[in-house]
Copies of this chain bind each other. A is one copy, B any other.
Amino acid sequence: MTSKIDILGEKIPVVILGATGTTGQQFVRRLDGHPWFEVVAVTAGDDVQGRSYGETVRWREPPPIPEQIASLPLRRPDQAAGARIAFSALDANGAGPVEEALARAGVVVVSHSGAHRLDPDVPLIIPEVNADHLALLERQRRERKWAGAIIANPSCSTTGLVLAVSPLHRAFGIERMVVTTMQAVSGAGSPGVSALDLMGNVIPLIPGEEEKIETETRRLLGQLQGAVVTEAAFAISAHAHRVPVLDGHLLAVSVGFRRRTTPDDALAVLEGARLTSDISALPSSPPRPVVVDPRPDRPQPRLDLDRERGMTAIVGRIRSCPVLDIRLVVATHNRVRGSAGGGILTAELLVARGLFR
């Protein structure tokens, strides 16, 4: 599994941009002891430059803070410090120029910021779903003349949805889809939503989220034709809600296909879904892209999040839909697969594809 690295002879140095935030902390924790990557730098806002990561971060992950990273001094966001990969956990605000500067300087930026997510020459990637879209990097290099590159990760709710419906799309061709999200508070970062607003309540608005889900889903399931990704042609309608759940997004999905599809058809396809061997060989790869839970009241965010180390979509309640073809429920770990876990898997794919040879 570590053969790529054996070739390299040593770990690839990486930097975490925005390392003190909630997503940044996820990267710190998940890169600790990673077989291929070594965190050589962490960046944060100007006001804490030079202080050590361990003394500065308000650590929310399970303790302790990984020792080697705790002692690193915080750098400015544009200081790559010899890293070849930058994991960007920056806010959308201001992330764009920083990521571009690093890409220009030769760093490969795997970004959660959303800043370049819909640029036509930036691959938006879920490794199990559309690894072929990485071919956009050639166009990006040609047009932008960067020594490095920018690759984007989808938003956390999109990731779970697309992992779950991608095998169905390949088998039956999605025609229409209505998805209602019940999203965890950790998806809003820190401080995020006020307890006074959210406790015992549901907030039926996450600004920009419905548009993200609709656009990114069509992009991820779109076709690469030459140097262009053509969005998948189906209609998708998203209803986004914030619910008083700590971690884990739940999605209620009604989906109709070009070919009439029964729940049994869908179940067979989802249970038969397999990873290609190059994906399953990646260190962070889950064994399967989707897990189907047959229990009538599952998945539930709190109980099912950590299955397959939080890296898959858990699907349940596959049943017929009186309006479209089938209904199903999807749970996904927004802080793992929808965040650092997904980004690291993407970076591993880049290594496996020889981008750092």
Contact = CB atoms under 8 A, between A and B. Distances in A.
A336 B334 CA distance: 26
B199 A323 contact: no
A193 B196 CA distance: 7
Please give me the 5 A-B residue pairs with the lowest Cβ-Cβ distance, nearest first.
A191-B194, A180-B180, A239-B252, A205-B297, A201-B302
Copies in the complex: 4
Nearest to A236: B322
A147 interface: no
A353 interface: no
Interface in A239-266: 239, 241, 243-246, 250, 252, 254
B323 A243 contact: no
Given A192-B195, A193-B194, A237 B321 contact: yes
Contacts of A245: 200-202, 244
A237 B321 CA distance: 6
A9 interface: no
Interface of A is mostly: mixed
21 contacts: A63-B306, A178-B178, A178-B321, A180-B180, A182-B243, A185-B195, A186-B196, A188-B196, A190-B196, A192-B196, A196-B246, A198-B199, A199-B200, A200-B200, A200-B246, A201-B245, A203-B300, A214-B322, A235-B323, A237-B327, A239-B252
A182 B237 contact: no
Interface string A17-58: 000001000000000000000000000000000000000000
A299 B185 CA distance: 19
Nearest to A184: B200
Contacts of A197: 191, 195
A324 B237 contact: yes
A145 interface: no
Interface in A200-255: 200-205, 214, 235-237, 239, 241, 243-246, 250, 252, 254
A94 interface: no
A39 to B, nearest CB: 22
A252 B180 contact: yes
Given A192-B196, A195-B197, 5 more contacts: A182-B241, A195-B244, A202-B245, A202-B301, A203-B297
